[in-house]
């Protein structure tokens, strides 16, 4: 067991949002973990079941304010707070804590880029330097010893997993990558917004954040590193009438004479042995409904009709591999545990 024969004592900050609830859903079945604290400032004093009746109260602490948490009884923190507040909060935590942060606050290595996209100076540049980017399959070695892991965004996970291996091997052009991304509504969080109302979302679709979505620099950071040069992508997000799921349709130009078969082989090679990333066989396209509730990311490759072009698809559950699931996967890596612990549930369909 983790700490002196006992379970790892975990705190969840910001437990009243969808990613917080998803952490609870999964961690309650983790054999090595005990949830010892959950914060939710506006809900402090209540039980989690009052916010999320699908969750039990048995085996869970009540909701408290962050400042009420006794950190001496906590080993590990999942931080699901809004951006900005996150930097301040994590900067104030005792150093014995290991942390997976699900916000965007520590994902961008370059604090100038952060300031440009988020409209204010970074409040904890030292922590930013320390933070390890938590795209597990790509960055596993560094995650193992990290104290602070910046869990990737939902769109960036779905975009980078298929593209990084191809850029690393120069199988696709770096200058001509178009990512048409489609996400379920939970990506917008649980705050009451008119734009997220049932009647505003059901039975219709639209694009948003066009040419200005904050996940673009995160994607470009990862792809640039893989390509060994600056990559600027076209990334366009669309809101889908569904709760969970992201599908990325990615249009690329092949390089060096490669075709879909070569791309598929490179992905298969790169992800051989990975539990959560699955490369589909030729002709199969992934559906988000086939990963719902699970930590899987499905990827497929097709030759386009236009010679020299290929189409990649990736599908994930934005709340699991795109957020809380990958966060737990990262905790498992940090603790040296079996990576799929608490993440072995199969997708739920229909």
Task: Provide the annotated active-site residues.
Answer: 154
Interacting residues of 163 by C-beta distance below 8 A, sequence separation 6+? 172, 177, 223, 226, 250, 252, 312
Note whether 127 binds a second copy by CB under 8 A. no
Q: How far apart are CA 20 and CA 218, in angstroms?
A: 22
By C-beta, is 72 or 194 nearer to a second copy? 194
Q: For residue 72, give the 3-state DSSP assignment.
A: helix
Could you say which residues in the range 184-213 bind a second copy, by CB under 8 A? 184-186, 190-194, 196-208, 210-212
243 forms part of the interface with a second copy (CB under 8 A): yes
Among 8, 15, 21, 63, the residue binding a second copy under the rule CB under 8 A is 21
Using rule CB under 8 A, residue 66 touches a second copy: no
238 near a second copy (CB under 8 A): yes
**Binding-site string for a second copy from residue 210 to residue 229, where x marks contact by CB under 8 A and - marks none:** xxx---x-------------
Q: Least Å distance between CB 183 and a second copy?
A: 10
159 part of the interface to a second copy, by CB under 8 A:
no
Q: Of 326, 313, 321, 329, whose CA–CA distance to 347 is shortest? A: 321
Phi and psi dihedrals of 285, rounded to 5? -115, 140
37, 338 in Cβ contact below 8 A?
no
284 interacts with a second copy by CB under 8 A: yes
Cβ burial, residue 272 (10 Å; 0-12/13-18/19+)? exposed
One residue of 127, 161, 167, 247 binding a second copy per CB under 8 A: 247
Asked if 182 interacts with a second copy (CB under 8 A), we say: yes
| Number of residues engaging a second copy in binding (CB under 8 A) | 80
CA nearest 105: which of 141, 81, 137? 81
Strands 246-253 and 309-316: what pairing? antiparallel
- Under the binding rule (CB under 8 A), the answer on residue 141 touching a second copy is no
Q: Interacting stretch for a second copy, rule CB under 8 A, among 39-47, 125-133, 138-146, 183-191?
A: 183-191
Q: Quick count: other Cβ atoms within 10 Å of Cβ 1?
A: 10
By C-beta, is 52 or 106 nearer to a second copy? 52
């Amino acid at each position: 067991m983790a700490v002196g024969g006992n379970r790892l004592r975990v705190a969840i900050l910001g437990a009243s949002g969808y990613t917080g609830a998803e952490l609870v859903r999964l961690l309650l079945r983790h054999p090595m973990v005990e949830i010892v604290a959950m914060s939710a400032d506006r809900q402090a004093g209540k039980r989690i079941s009052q916010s999320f009746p699908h969750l039990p109260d048995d085996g869970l602490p009540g909701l408290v304010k962050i400042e009420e948490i006794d950190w001496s009884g906590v080993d590990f923190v999942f931080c699901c707070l809004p951006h900005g507040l996150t930097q301040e909060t994590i900067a104030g935590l005792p150093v014995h804590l290991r942390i997976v942060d699900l916000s965007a606050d520590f994902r961008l290595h370059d604090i100038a880029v952060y300031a440009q996209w988020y409209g204010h100076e970074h409040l904890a540049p030292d922590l930013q330097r320390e933070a390890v980017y938590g795209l597990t399959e790509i960055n596993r070695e560094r995650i193992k010893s990290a104290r602070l892991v910046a869990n990737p965004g939902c769109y960036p996970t779905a975009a980078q997993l298929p593209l990084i291996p191809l850029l690393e091997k120069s199988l696709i052009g770096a200058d001509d990558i178009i990512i048409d991304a489609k996400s379920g509504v939970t990506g917008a969080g649980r705050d009451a917004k008119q734009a997220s109302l049932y009647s505003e979302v059901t039975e219709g679709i639209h694009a948003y954040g066009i040419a200005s979505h904050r996940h673009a620099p995160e994607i470009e950071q990862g792809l640039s590193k893989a390509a060994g040069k600056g990559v600027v992508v076209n990334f366009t997000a669309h809101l889908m009438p569904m709760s969970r799921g992201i599908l990325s349709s990615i249009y690329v130009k092949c390089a060096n004479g490669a075709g879909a078969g070569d791309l598929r082989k490179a992905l298969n090679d790169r992800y051989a042995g990975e539990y959560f990333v699955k490369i589909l066989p030729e002709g199969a396209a992934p559906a988000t409904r086939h990963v719902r509730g699970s930590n899987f990311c499905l990827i497929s490759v097709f030759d386009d009709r236009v010679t020299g072009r290929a189409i990649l698809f990736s599908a994930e559950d934005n709340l699991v591999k795109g957020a809380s699931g990958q966060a737990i996967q990262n905790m498992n890596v940090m603790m040296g545990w079996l990576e799929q612990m608490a993440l072995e549930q199969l997708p739920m369909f229909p």
